[in-house]
Amino acid sequence: MSKAIGWSGVFPAVTTQFRPDYSLDLDATHRVIANLVRDGVSGLVICGTVGENTSLSLREKISLVEIAKDASAGRVPVIAGVAEFTSANASQVAREVARAGADGIMLMPALVYSAKPFETAAHFRSVAAETDLPVMVYNNPPIYKNDVTPDILISLADCDNIVCFKDSSGDTRRFIDVRNEVGDRFVLFAGLDDVVLESVAVGAEGWVSGMSNVFPQEGETLFRLAKASRLAEALPLYEWFMPLLHLDARPDLVQCIKLCEALVQRGSALTRPPRLALPEADRRFVESLMAHALENRLALPDVGL
């Protein structure tokens, strides 16, 4: 199945839009998604970390998948994040988003519980067994405290519908370790914005990106240049992008990315509590990064967008 899914390129981790009373704004989220697809992204991840998954109800998650499918109109795959406290709850969400039309799921380790490796593997294995959708294993140890190591991933190679590995550890050597053991069994995705070029260099076929919500054409161009080994063109763009890409590695990445979206009128900065607006000093820092980026925006090489 891993070769058949066709997942490659930039998949923004789409933000979820809220009204001033923190209720879900489906119309605004639809516009965000439609604009990303218009600007040439290769796929969409709904209800990921940046989409504030853990602050959403099951009904809201289903609604977001439905409007993402409508906004994308079959032009790009829609992957739904699944982040739950228990394997049973994750299995239920996986079944529900499949009914809503998701093209795949991005499955996180069980939240809160600091699992041992065999427990982490068992979680992925049991949820995968409850869905026919292709599964992207999501590893983000700085945020979720459970590390899906290469050994854990390799132990799941017999699960046919576990097809993709998104790594946000920042350690790109892991892609080499996986390939040395199981070849191209898994499609590899960069999950941390500020190591995307390095991730492509060691085999990443895709990038689940935070800052490509803000600059989708720059993100897709950077990725395509890297895949084509056009490094002389990629490096100036990477250097321009890097101060903003570092925001994806902060604990408050969601607030940072949504503020950047608001500054270019692609979405709202509002996050649902417990996430609160950035303190003034942090807000000014992000605003200064954005002002510098916009003042020095580069002409993009032709990559077929």
208 is in an annotated binding site: yes
Which one of the listed residues 69, 138, 144, 258 is annotated catalytic? 138
Which one of the listed residues 61, 166, 227, 258 is annotated catalytic? 166
Strands (E), the chain: 9-12, 44-46, 78-82, 104-107, 135-139, 162-167, 187-190, 206-209
- 138 catalytic, yes or no? yes
Going from the C-alpha of 202 to that of each of 1, 13, 190, 218, the distances in angstroms are 22, 22, 10, 21
Instruction: Find, among 55, 49, 26, 1, the residue nearest to 208 by Cα.
Output: 49
Strands (E), 108-180: 135-139, 162-167
Q: Residue 246 carries which DSSP code?
A: G
Asked whether the bond before 274 is cis by omega within 30 degrees of 0, the reply is yes
Instruction: Find, among 202, 210, 294, 293, the residue nearest to 258 by Cα.
Output: 210
Q: Give the separation between CA 199 and CA 191, rounded to whole angstroms.
A: 9
Rg (CA), the chain: 18
- 3 catalytic, yes or no? no
Those residues whose C-beta lies under 8 Å from the C-beta of residue 284, and which sit 6 or more positions away, are none
DSSP 3-state of 75: coil
How many Cβ atoms from other residues are within 10 Å of residue 173's Cβ? 11
Phi-psi sector, 79: left (phi>0), alpha (psi -120 to 50), beta: beta
Residues making up the annotated binding site for pyruvate are 208
- Which sequence positions are flagged as catalytic? 138, 166
Residues making up the annotated binding site are 208
